[in-house]
Structure 1
Amino acid sequence: MKYQDSSGEHIILFGDSIKLLDQEIQDESIHLIFVDPPYNIGKKYANFIDKWPTEENYLLWCYSWLELCFKKLHPEGSIYLMASTQTIPYLDIYLRKHIHILSRIIWHYDSSGVQAKNYFGSLYEPIIYGVKNPKSYTFNRDDIKVEAKTGSKRKLIDYRKAIPKVYNSHKVPGNVWYFPRVRYRMEEYEKHPTQKPEALLKRIILASSNVGDTILDPFAGTFTTSAVAQKVGRKSIGIEIEEDYIKIGLRRLGICTHYNGNLLQKPLKSYQRNYQQLELFKDD
């Protein structure tokens, strides 16, 4: 099933990613693909348990949609792939045969309340960034620059220059990115076990696409990719198989206000409900 906003620039496809990638997406039409698939680590996504019978089964599934992604990617397009630390080495080797890998990025985040006690717990997720054509691709470095502490804070002088001057105060980020994970009390939080932060997607989209380009997310989840694309003037296509998450996408993108006769609205969090009840009690 297909949904789109009034402009036709933001599309939601409801169903299996492999089938819809093959049948609904035109070859070489996508400027940027962000892929954040199930990791095969046993997470529960609405009605789906993220676990394959064997690692080989999971990898073969990954290869099938990756092959389609390569077909759909524009000749000057870029792809960012996230995966578990256990799986990323296999996918890295596979990707090298099909695209040019430019960066291997670490998304580092803060610790959760519960951490491993008998080994070193994971505080990062890997991202592979690659392009079809290493001689012609989009990279808007000025749109993603961050503060360079050496230049902006310490005011050190670069004496290597013909005329010595203070180091630059801004620079292109390196390949270790810090963004907090999406927490329950954050405004952007949706009910999803692996929601990615808007700030992470904003950096990727600003860097590797231009206004008017089309961004594809084959495993849209809470439709953060599409929501950020909409905010920064890009087009988007999000594919999702779980109805609960389709409803989130329809609401976040402003495609419709009701679904099957029910109002689409963000559920109140427990502390918000408690506050409302307190206010009602005061009125009484």
Structure 2
Amino acid sequence: MNKIINKDIFLGLNDIDNNSVDLIFIDPPYNLKKQYADNISDKWESQDSYLEWLFQWLEICLNKLKPYGSLYIMNTTQNMPYIDIYLQKKLHIKSRIVWAYDSSGVQAKRFFGSLYEPILFCTKNKSKYTFNSHDILVDTITGAKRKLVDHRKNPPTLYNEKKVPGNVWYFPRVRYLMPEYIKHPSQKPQILLERIVKASSNVNDTVLDLFAGTFSLGFVCNKLKRNYIGIELSSTYCKYALENLPNSILDK
């Protein structure tokens, strides 16, 4: 089932039972002054006021995780250090992931422009949590592509052809006219979301998506047979999800 909650984040979280969610994914507004559908603005008076707002709803959403649940959160390189320090006191940070991509736009002229977004992977329990490493294996350069032999072993053997991805992920951003493109200033690629869902949830688990935006995570969860709950303030984006995401119901 795909549940769409068309509400402000605080009201939407009130609809979610505590200890009921296996995986939470959070891609919030970054305070970059972007404009979303329905005249929703990504602008706060200051970074302090933005972080105060973020920590308020983040504190609430942590209660929604099951005892062995996981949480992923994205943000800017400027904001993430504050979020990292905050979550260190609440959860167990397992990985600090870099989502790297190329840019076709104009780059900085007097400093090194940012071509990545940080992602935190956190768990509620230090040692017991879902991590399906076998579902996210990737080819190795050493073994699968270069066919190198490890001569330290007796007898010498080829290096492994598969491995669990490291914490630097190379996925292209969603561009205009791509099949999954929806008009949104910060749409995330489904291939990135698919890795997260496969790794940190199982079939029939419940995945909570804060600031669902284009509901890309909902389409991934539907394909992978996870139960999905998306909270989104914009009625335009929610309408799109209702019309295109199978088995969707709306909670206004």
TM range (shorter): over 0.9
How far did residue 49 of structure 1 move?
1.3
One-letter amino acid of the counterpart of residue 56, structure 1? D
Equivalent position of 1:29 in the other structure: 20
Aligned partner of 2:135 in structure 1 is: 143
Match of 1:226 in 2: 218
Amino acid at match of 2:20: S
Aligned partner of 1:17 in structure 2 is 9
Describe the shift of the 1:162–1:98 C-alpha distance in structure 2 as closer, same or farther (beyond 3 A).
Answer: farther
**How many Å separate the matches in 1 of 2:113 and 2:76?**
13
Q: Quick one: distance in 1 between partners of 2:143 and 2:117?
A: 29
Q: Which residue of 1 aligns with 2:160?
A: 168
Separation of aligned partners in 1, 2:213 and 2:177: 19
Larger deviation, residues 45-54 vs 247-256:
247-256
**Aligned residue type for 1:178:** Y
Retained in 2: the 8 A contact 1:210–1:234? yes
- SS of residue matched to 1:182: coil
Q: Output the amino acid matched with 2:62.
A: F
Cα distance in 2 between the residues matched to 1:99 and 1:109:
28
Partner of residue 74, structure 2: 82
Larger Rg: 1
| Match among 48, 53, 57 for residue 56 of structure 1 | 48
Give ranges in structure 1 of 5+ residues lacking alignment. 1-8, 257-284
Mapping for residues 73-112 of structure 1, pairs under 5 Å = 73-112=65-104
Question: Is 1:41 matched with 2:26?
Answer: no
1:208 counterpart = 2:200: yes
Tell me the SS of whatever aligns to 2:62.
helix
Name the CA distance, whole Å, in 1 between partners of 2:57 and 2:155: 53
Q: Shift of the alpha carbon at 1:255? A: 4.7
Shift of 1:65: 1.2
Shift of 1:41: 1.0
2:177 maps to a residue whose letter is R
Residue in 2 aligned with 1:183? 175
- In the alignment, the residues of structure 1 paired with residue 153 and residue 83 of structure 2 have an alpha-carbon distance, to the nearest angstrom, of 42
Worse overlay, 183-192 or 118-127 = 118-127
Match of 1:247 in 2: 239
Query: Aligned Cα RMSD in Å?
Result: 1.2
CA contact (8 A) 2:222 2:246 kept: no
Q: Mind listing any 5+ residue stretches in structure 2 that lack a counterpart?
A: none
- Of stretches 203-212 and 245-254 in structure 1, the one that deviates more from structure 2 is 245-254
Decide which moves more: 52-61 or 99-108.
52-61
Distance in 2 between the 1:162 and 1:34 partners?
45
CA distance in 2, matches of 1:221, 1:251: 15
User: Which residue number in structure 1 is paired with residue 209 of structure 2?
Assistant: 217
Q: Find the residue that maps to 1:105 and give its secondary structure.
A: strand
- Kept after mapping to 1: 8 A contact 2:2/2:218: yes
The 10-residue stretch of structure 1 (232-241 or 160-169) with the greater mean CA deviation from structure 2: 160-169
Partner of 1:133: 125
**Maintained 8 Å contact 1:223/1:252:** no
Query: For 1:195, what is the secondary structure of its paired residue?
Result: coil
What residue is the counterpart of 1:116 in the other structure? 108
Give the TM-score of the pair, scaled to structure 2: 0.95
What secondary structure, in the 3-state scheme, does the structure 2 residue paired with 1:118 have? coil
1:247 partner amino acid? K
Q: Contact conserved, 2:143 with 2:160, CA < 8 A, in 1?
A: yes
Query: Deviations for 1:184-207, whole angstroms, at most 9, x for unmatched residues?
Result: 020000010000000000000000
Q: Deviations over 1:195-220 (max 9, x none)?
A: 00000000000000000000001100
TM-superposed deviation, 1:162: 4.6
Structure 1 residue 64, shift from structure 2 partner: 1.0
Structure-1-length-normalised TM-score: 0.85
Taking only the aligned residue pairs, the percentage that are identical comes to 56
Structure 2 partner of 1:237: 229
